[in-house]
Structure 1
């Protein structure tokens, strides 16, 4: 799983330690931003389901629909995210008991 610190903005606020990355087992990009005071909950956490956001643009559109933005991404982060996804493209999908269990949970 890749993880890169970026800035996410929302209604005049900024989270300069937000995390964007690619999750190979779920085959999705993800975004985490705006932790609460205790640092345990997040106001924004996208990309928790299998193939939920297969492109950075899809992730960005989902963030925008919730009032958050992370564009423009730093060029080095965008390049590395796409490389992370490409590196995993050759990997066969996870299809063991854990994958079946996750699909079961997501169907609920």
Structure 2
């Protein structure tokens, strides 16, 4: 399982909040990307936890849309996105360069 720390912001009950210790990653057994943020005040569970069941978010875009639909901004720098796609590819046996996202990253990283 991969885990990377990112900052998530969102509006919860009318208040803008930010969590600089949010975690995003790829969970191979569940075959999904996941996002955890905003520790719950009374439990150990995150207040926002996306990607808890099999194939919940097979693409980063799916995860981003879900975060937005819950009122959260999911800024994903290209380098981090590439790492996440690489993590998924490594466990699936499919090279990153063969994915559509991998081809797009290759194009973006070419000198101009």
What's the TM-score bracket when you normalise by the shorter of the two chains? 0.7 to 0.9
Q: How far apart in 1 are the matches of 2:2 and 2:43? A: 20
TM-score by length of 1: 0.77
Q: Does 1:90 align with 2:88?
A: no
Q: How far apart in 2 are the matches of 1:37 and 1:45? A: 14
Runs of 4 or more, structure 1, over 3 Å off, are none
Q: Identify the match of residue 50 of structure 1 among 45, 50, 54.
A: 54
Could you list the per-position Cα deviations for residues 10-48 of structure 1 after superposition, in whole angstroms to 9, with x for gaps in the alignment? Answer: 122110000000000111000000002356121100001
* Equivalences for residues 38-77 of structure 1 within 5 A: 40-71=44-75, 73-77=76-80
Q: Quote the RMSD (CA, aligned, Å).
A: 1.6
Q: Unaligned 5+ residue runs, structure 1?
A: 92-108
TM-score by length of 2: 0.74
Larger RCO of the pair (alpha carbons < 8 Å, separation 6+): 1
Q: Does 1:18 align with 2:22?
A: yes
Q: Unaligned 5+ residue runs, structure 2?
A: 95-112
